[in-house]
């Protein structure tokens, strides 16, 4: 029986390995781009950064250390230079595939960090398995810019699982829809007409603002934004504003809101402030051909008819007045039910004219009296 050489005895003492086999190795050296593992074979194994993870910028010295033990998959027993090529990523992907399959079958909610923002959606990685979340499944509302999700952890479910085509589709939208439905149910069970609630401005249009009440949106119509006149809602509210609103009406899933609180109603003391005969001061807010509307305070406008502007004939208010001009006038009509007040500048001018005429008559009377006395004195002489 021939004696075995030392090399032959060493070969026999070492295990044999095959491509695709899973082995355990011990890290004996680490560099930023590759690690060397002792796998109990005649040659050490090479684990490159690309075969460790899908994250291209990882420095292996920060995640692996000498004497670390880990399971790896044999990619090639001999790469042509006698080296064994190993992969940690592929083994993790095999495990990840099973993990994703279980999550798909059980409709499990997964959580992962967004590793890449693409033109058509987001890419996340679970156990080295890359999952694509299309833009249409990222949110329950249209989002033009997805960059805000970069490096963020998000929750989703697997809506499509096809390992043969390596097609794994995630869906975040259905979670948000389900959450909103639950919040909506809780909201409608909690709120009533007349309640004062807080909300966040979600969108502003020409006719009003949509307020997110936490589960459902309410409409704050332009006519309910203020006791005063609002020309442009976008000058009053902006997206993100937190506002306090009154629930005016609930009709099915529709909520009508108001920012006109009764304790701030400018008409509650109007009877005493703007009663007939009172002299008031206000600013011209707007004009028409038949008159000018004077703002006496926020939410209280009065009509100054063209015929009541002056004792002289005026064709239209714009001939003698301008918007923003301050005017003083007398209240000549007050209708609390219809919230209408009529003013007159002319009514203030009439008493002044009467005083002037009375003074003139008195002056003439004194002159006549003096003349009579003078005539009487001459006759006596």
Q: 154 CB contacts (<8 Å, ≥6 apart)? A: 111, 112, 113, 114, 122, 124, 133, 172
Rounded Cα distance between 236 and 246, Å, is: 17
Dmax (CA) for the chain in angstroms is: 187
pLDDT at 370: 40
Beta pairing, strands 34-38 & 121-126: unpaired
Say yes or no: domain 98-176 is CATH 2.40.30.170: no
Locate 364 and state its tokens: 């003439």
Say yes or no: domain 270-348 is CATH 2.40.50.140: yes
Rounded Cα distance between 247 and 278, Å, is: 36
For residue 88, give the nearest of 123, 57, 115, 52 by alpha carbon: 52
Parts of the chain belonging to CATH 2.40.50.140: 14-87, 98-176, 191-263, 270-348
CATH H superfamily, domain 14-87? Nucleic acid-binding proteins (2.40.50.140)
Locate 210 and state its tokens: 């949509």
Rounded Cα distance between 118 and 145, Å, is: 11
What is the chain's length? 381
pLDDT at 375: 41
What pLDDT tens digit does each residue of the chain (381 aa) get? Answer: 445 555 555 455 556 888 889 999 999 999 999 999 999 888 899 999 999 987 778 999 999 999 999 999 999 988 667 789 999 988 888 888 999 999 999 999 999 999 999 989 999 999 888 999 999 999 998 888 999 999 999 999 999 999 888 899 999 999 999 999 999 999 999 999 999 999 999 999 999 999 999 989 999 999 999 888 888 999 999 999 999 999 999 999 999 999 999 888 888 888 888 999 999 999 999 999 999 999 999 889 999 999 999 999 999 999 999 999 999 999 999 998 888 999 999 999 866 554 554 444 555 545 444 443 444 445 445
Could you give the dihedral angle defined by the CA atoms of residues 55, 56, 58 and 63, in that order, rounded to the nearest 10 degrees? 50
pLDDT at 8: 52
- Contact at 8 Å (CB) between 41 and 17? yes
- Contact at 8 Å (CB) between 134 and 119? no
Rounded Cα distance between 14 and 49, Å, is: 27
DSSP H or E segment with residue 305: strand 300-305
Residue with token string 């069970």: 189
pLDDT at 369: 42
Locate 80 and state its tokens: 């042509």
Rounded Cα distance between 244 and 213, Å, is: 10
- Contact at 8 Å (CB) between 362 and 354? no
Q: Where are the alpha helices (DSSP H) in the chain?
A: 6-13, 89-106, 173-190, 270-273, 346-380
For residue 238, give the nearest of 211, 273, 277 by alpha carbon: 211
Alpha-carbon 283 to chain mean position: 36
Q: Which CATH class is domain 191-263?
A: mainly beta
């Amino acid at each position: 029986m021939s004696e075995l050489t030392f090399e032959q005895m060493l070969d026999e003492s070492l295990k044999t390995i095959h491509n695709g086999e899973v082995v355990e190795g011990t890290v004996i050296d680490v560099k930023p781009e590759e690690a060397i593992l002792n796998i109990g074979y005649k040659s050490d194994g090479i684990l490159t950064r690309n075969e460790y993870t899908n994250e291209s910028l990882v420095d292996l010295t920060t995640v692996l250390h000498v004497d670390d033990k880990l399971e790896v998959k044999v990619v090639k027993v001999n790469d042509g230079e006698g080296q064994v090529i190993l992969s940690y990523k592929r083994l993790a992907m095999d495990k990840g595939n099973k993990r994703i399959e279980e999550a798909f079958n059980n409709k499990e909610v997964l959580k992962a960090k967004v590793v890449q923002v693409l033109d058509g959606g987001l890419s996340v990685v679970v156990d080295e398995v890359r999952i694509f979340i299309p833009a249409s499944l990222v949110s329950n509302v249209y989002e033009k810019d997805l960059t805000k999700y970069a490096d963020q952890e998000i929750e989703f479910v697997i809506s499509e699982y096809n390992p043969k085509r390596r097609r794994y589709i995630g869906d975040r939208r259905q979670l948000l829809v389900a959450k909103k439905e639950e919040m909506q149910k809780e909201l409608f069970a909690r709120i009533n007409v007349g309640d004062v609630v807080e909300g966040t401005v979600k969108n502003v249009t020409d006719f009003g603002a949509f307020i997110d009440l936490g589960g459902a949106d309410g409409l704050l119509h332009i006519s309910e934004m203020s006791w005063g006149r609002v020309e442009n809602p976008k000058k009053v509210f902006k997206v993100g504003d937190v506002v306090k609103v009154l629930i005016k009406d609930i009709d099915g899933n529709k909520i009508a809101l108001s920012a006109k609180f009764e304790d701030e109603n400018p008409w509650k003391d109007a009877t005493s402030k703007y009663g007939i005969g009172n002299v008031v001061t206000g600013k011209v807010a707007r004009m028409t051909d038949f008159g000018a509307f004077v703002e006496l305070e926020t939410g209280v406008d009065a009509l100054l008819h063209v015929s009541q502007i002056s004792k002289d004939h005026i064709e239209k208010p714009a001939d003698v007045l301008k918007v923003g001009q301050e005017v003083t006038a007398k209240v000549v009509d007050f209708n609390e039910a219809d919230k209408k007040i009529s003013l007159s500048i002319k009514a203030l001018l009439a008493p002044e004219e009467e005083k002037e005429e009375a003074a003139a008559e008195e002056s003439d009377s004194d002159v006549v009296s003096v003349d009579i006395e003078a005539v009487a004195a001459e006759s006596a002489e």
